[in-house]
Structures are given as C-alpha cells and as structure tokens.
Chains A and B, each alone.
Chain A
Amino acid sequence: MLKATIDADILKESIDAISALVTECRLHTDENGISTRAVDTANVAMISLLLKKEAFSSFAATRSELGIDIAKMKNIFGMMAKNDMITLELTDDIHKLQVSFQGYKYSITLLDENTIRKDPNPPTIELPGKVAIPGAELNSAIKAAAVVSDKIALGIDAAKQIFFMAAEGDTDHIRREFGKDEVSFINGVEAKSLFSLDYMKDMGKVMSRAEEVEIHLGIDHPAKFSFNIAGGNGHVEYLLAPRIEAD
C-alpha cells in the first residue's frame, strides 16, 4: 500500500536521477520512505536512491514492491509545473498506480516485478580516495571533457593534494585540477581511474543540481558518486565501473 503527496520538483529530481541509467526499476516502499537500486543493461553503472518520508508532504506506506517504467514516468511528469503537489496512491490488490496532479488523474499500469532485473547486491568494494566537490563544477568539467574525448580520468594526486579530471582525445587534451580551495579532501590518497563519458554525461546532468557530490575513488576501480536530493531528505549513490585502458 502507498499513499503519498509530494512536491513535483522533488519527484522529478528523483525520476531524473534514475532515468540517467535505467528505463525501468523496482521501487521498494516501506514505512520510512521509498528506495530503489538498479543496474543498467550493460552492468556498468548502478544507482541507489533513497527518498525518506520527510521528503513527502504526507506519506503512508507498507512494505511493497512496484515495477516502474521510468521512461513512461518521465514523459508523464514532463508536463508538471514546479510546486505542483502530486498524489501517489497504490492499493494492494491492483497493479495500477494512481497519480493525480492539477486535476489530472493518471492510472499507470505497473510492470510485473518479475520481469525486471533482480536487484543487484550492494557492492562490497573499498574505495579509499574521497573528495567532495560542488555538483555544478563536476558537471562542467565533464562537459568540457566530452568535447575532446569519450572517456575521462578522475584521480587524486596525493603528493600535491590535487583532485584532477583529465580527458585524452586523439588530438586534443584537457585537464582540470582542483586544489584545496575548491574541493574538500576527505581522504586524499592516490587514485586514478578512467570512465566512460557516455555515462558520466548523463550522471553529470543530475549531479549538477547537487550542492556537493562526494566522490570515492580507487586505482582502476569503480567510482562512487554520492549526493543528497530533496533538500537533504533523499540520497543518491551512483556507482560506475571503470573503463579498461587499452594497452
């Protein structure tokens, strides 16, 4: 069972965060809020999203699982205005989510949860290097890198205490370094991995709205980007597998 009211902007932000990676997902609801964890088709990136009940203006739910077609949701919510209040309602026996806003009443057929990929196990990797950077800064560096290449290196230079993002194209090269004054080093150990810009671009758009993104890095290891949404009442974690460098 689910009965909740939420600000359109928050819901949109959450849907956008998910849609950066997957087109469908399982949404888990319980009395504390909603959450999801999904991996993209290529098994390269994972999103974990948590929206606490405080993010909603009213929230009542029991433990259940919803198969959500994210692409469809995105289209529907495209027409919502800022500050609209949206009511979500789900009864136990029917596979339809009632969404109402602005006098519109949608009845959205949910996907059969069995047809959606199983929830991935939470990864158990150690990523020692940790920095925190404003989302907007991260996104513009990604955008800059996308001009010259299709992959980007993220790393920490432990000796100089510098966080860098660098992209190597066939002919061009771009490098952006962040010193202590721009990023906060939580744990400045040596790290460097290469990532696909295809993914980084989509994730960057979402992260640009975050005040601060915490990046966890290792050497040729996945990267974790974690940031808050919904004014601190929600949390998103992206995990992205590294590119294997050609020799």
Chain B
Amino acid sequence: MDWTEKYRPSHLADIVGNGTAVHQMLDWARGWKRGTKPLILYGKPGIGKTSAAYALANDMQWEAMELNASDTRTKAIIERVAGAGSTSGSLTGAARRLVVLDEADNLQGTADKGGAKAILDIIRDARQPIILIANDLYGLASDLRAACDPVQFKALPARSLIPHLKYICSVEKVQCNDQALKDIADNSAGDMRAAVTTLYAASIGKQRIEEPDIRTSMKDGRASIFQLIPAVFGRCAGAELVRMSYEVDDKPDAIEQWIEANLASLKGPEATAQAYRYLSRADEYIGNTNRRQYFMLWRYATVTMLLGTNVASGGHGIHERISSPRRWQRMASSKRQKGIRTALLGKLGGLIHMPQQTVRDGYLNLLSILAEKDPLFFARELDLDADQLGLLIHDRAKAITIAKALAVERREEDKREKIKAQKKTAPEQKIKPAPAVTPARVKAGVLETVLPDEPGSPPPPQQEKQQKAGGRQSTLF
C-alpha cells in the first residue's frame, strides 16, 4: 500500500507543522453552528491540507464525505452529492458530517462552468460544516472566497520532515542513513507527500537506503535558466552543466542568447573574446540544426557554448543580476519598422515592376530623390501613409503634413462623389457644388505633368476624365 495513504495522520495532533492552521480549524469546528462560514484550506500540494481536514473530522467524531478531482464534478453532480451531503443528517449517528470539497480551485471552468455557483448555493443552504481545499486561494472566484474563511497552510521546513521520515523507516524496518533522509527532506521543498513517496520509491526491494538510492527515486526537479546561467559562469563540472541544460525548458538557441546577454560579467577582453569565439561556433551548429533539421547537432552546440563559456569565465561567477537577452525585445520593437519598410518597398516595386529586393538595392535612393521633389504626388499615387512617406523622403515632419493634406483632399473627394451619386438619383437638381471643381482641377493638373505627351487630348467631362486618369496611371508606368 502506498505509504502516503498508510501514514496519513488520523489525528490533528499528528499533523506535522502548521500549528496555527490546525488550531484555527479546531476552533472553527468546536464553535461550528449553522451559518458559520466554511473554511478554505490553501497552500502548496503535499503539505497536509486534506489530511488535516480528515483528521479534524476524525477528532470531532464527525462523518466525512469527500468530493475531489477524481470524481466528475459537473454542476449537477456537485448539487446532488455535496448538496445531499450538506443538507442531510448523519447516517450512523455521528453528530455532524464534514463535507470536504478537495481541489476547489481546479473545479472551476473545467468540467462545468456552473461548478462555482453550485458550490456557492451549497454553502448558502448548508446545514453541515464544509471545508474547501485549494492550492491557490486566488484561483477561486472572489465571491466564493468572500463566503469562506481562509486558513493558510505553509510549506514545511526540511528539518521538520525528517522525524516523520525516520518514524516511517522504523515502522517499515528500513534502514536509512541520516544523510539520505536529509537529502530527501531538502529536495522535497516542504512537500511531505513528495518526501514520503521518495522514501517509498527508494525503499522498494531494499532494506537499506543510501544517498545514491535517493537520486533515482526523486520527484523530477527541473533546473531553470536562472540556475543554469550562474553555473555556466561559476565553478561547475561540465557533465553537470550539460545535464542542467537538458532540464531547462529553453532550447539551445535560447540558452545561447541568455549566455550572450551575460557575457559582460566576464573579466577582461581576452575572456570575452574567447567566450564569443565558442558562442559563435555553437551558433554555427544551431544554424546547421535549423537548416538540416538534424537535431543531433544541438548537443554540439550545447556542449560548445556551455563548456567554452565556462572555461572562458575562469569560474569567477556572476556578481551582478542575471540579465535577460535583449535581442527578442529589440526584434519586437523593430517589427513595426520592418513592416513599414516592407509595405513601402512593395508599393514601389509594384510601381516599377521590380522585385522588392531590387528596388531596395538599386532604386530606392533614386526614387527617394524623386519623391523629395514632389512628395504629394508620390503619396497620392502610391497611397502612402505618413510612416511610409517619411521613410521615403527622410523627413518625418514633412511627411506628416503631406499625409494630412492628402487626407483632407480624399475626404473632399469622397464628399463630391457622394453628391454626384445623389445627383444621379435626382438629375433635375441643378445646383453644382462649388468645392467639387477645385480638387478635380488639381487632379487634372497632376495628370498633365505625369503624361506630358497627351496635353492636347480633348477635355472630357470631369468625372470621366478622373476615371480615365486613374485607369491610365496603372498601365502607363
């Protein structure tokens, strides 16, 4: 049988640590009457919340019923089970029934959205004591939190785990040396369940537990980049560095960025140069990995950059704060700029029928000079906005004014179109709006400068001419 179940404390007095919380629970239970707020026990996993709830029921000689995450917890089931449990008397003659809603923070929004409301309803109508258990107090809906009294459970200090582990060892007749027990306690980060499970796993098939047995049965811990980077710059064995790099969630290209961001902490230009040499070599491997999709190459990248930088640092360690790579940040901020450039090149390329790259390499300067001479024309014909025009004529302020002027012009044009459309529907109306003429004439003037060999063509009616100008524009260039 699983030791965590076997050695689950059955009395509040046996709960390790969390004395304040236990007292709070006991006071609550002794003073409980109908209408008393339910308790929320919250804290990290494995530190005795559920055990405390059952121990309380046991000590008070109450019945206990549990609804946990392994039950399907839809609104209907919560209502039926917890509802029945909290409104019914005891079956066996116990004074009260404690309703334990375990993992209450996981219940919301998972199986059924109505879960939180169902619990609130149950709390309101409850005639039996209720305890909610959650890892994260703020994972609960605020009105649910307000309806209950919170009791915090804290992670257990490593030294307080050891006596309990020792006790289990003595009952199970397993010999375990003190260092191994200390290792277990240290590594479980205050999680009693993890500690007991580690001990259990290490003990299977053995009568004696030594330190090496612990390693294999340990709950998987994962190194983070904040452990890896100091290790790279400090004194750390190569194999250990590589192992940590496998544990971190970041890929080698990300690790490379992190190392690079912290190269400033190296002592002297020689060391920096050396580190950069290894980093660039590693970068080549990363590049090859991406190109060939042959991920075995990653290991060369990892080893080169970790060990290379480690050697270059001479084990001096990082004394400043670990800085995060700025590259991504820079790339994010330049994204907008790149977008503007691509859009502009696309429009210019369309104008002169050339690929964007050719425009950029051979014609952009030329077009730029032309545009500086007549920015309004370029803006209008290419439909450039202020940013794009600014990039083209290297004058942001001017570009903004021109873009504004263009916008005004467009609005008036729209207005005119609208009026024309109205005129079409009501042709008897003879009043010709005055402003309609002026922009159209400007347009015609522009047309003449663009098409100098067509000046003598008979002036068609204004509307037609405008349409023609637009149509011809695209074919001529």
Contact = CB atoms under 8 A, between A and B. Distances in A.
A196 B93 contact: no
A42 B92 contact: no
Interface stretch (B81-89, B131-139, B288-296, B322-330): B81-89
Interface in B109-151: 125, 127-128
A114 B91 contact: no
Contacts of A199: 84
Interface stretch (B63-71, B162-170, B412-420, B429-437): B63-71
A111 interface: no
B80 interface: yes
B97 interface: yes
Contacts of B87: 196, 243-244
A210 B339 CA distance: 80
A202 B81 CA distance: 14
A44 B93 contact: no
Contacts of A220: 89
Interface in B57-105: 63-65, 67, 71, 80-82, 84-85, 87-93, 97
B1 interface: yes
A160 to B, nearest CB: 26
B65 A241 contact: no
Max chain A Cβ within 10 angstroms of own Cβ: one of B1, B71, B85:
B85
Contacts of A125: 92-93
Interface stretch (A49-57, A116-124, A131-139, A177-185): A116-124
B80 A42 contact: yes
Contacts of A221: 89
B93 A124 contact: yes
Max chain B Cβ within 10 angstroms of own Cβ: one of A41, A199, A239, A246:
A41
A11 interface: no
Contacts of A124: 92-93
A120 B85 contact: no
A28 B92 CA distance: 22
Given A41-B67, A43-B63, A114-B1, A244 B128 contact: yes
Contacts of B34: 247
A121 B127 CA distance: 24
Contacts of B89: 220-222, 241-244
A121 B61 CA distance: 14
A240 B88 CA distance: 9
A100 B476 CA distance: 88
B92 A121 contact: yes
A192 B85 CA distance: 20
B27 to A, nearest CB: 23
A198 interface: yes
Interface of B: 1, 34, 63-65, 67, 71, 80-82, 84-85, 87-93, 97, 125, 127-128
Given A42-B88, A243-B87, 12 more contacts: A42-B82, A43-B64, A43-B65, A44-B85, A44-B91, A120-B92, A123-B91, A125-B93, A196-B84, A198-B80, A222-B90, A244-B88
Closest 7 CB pairs of A and B: A42-B85, A244-B127, A43-B65, A42-B84, A241-B88, A241-B91, A42-B81
26 contacts: A41-B71, A42-B65, A42-B81, A42-B82, A42-B85, A43-B63, A43-B64, A43-B85, A44-B85, A120-B91, A124-B92, A125-B92, A196-B87, A196-B88, A222-B89, A239-B91, A240-B91, A242-B88, A242-B89, A243-B88, A243-B89, A244-B87, A244-B88, A244-B89, A244-B128, A246-B125
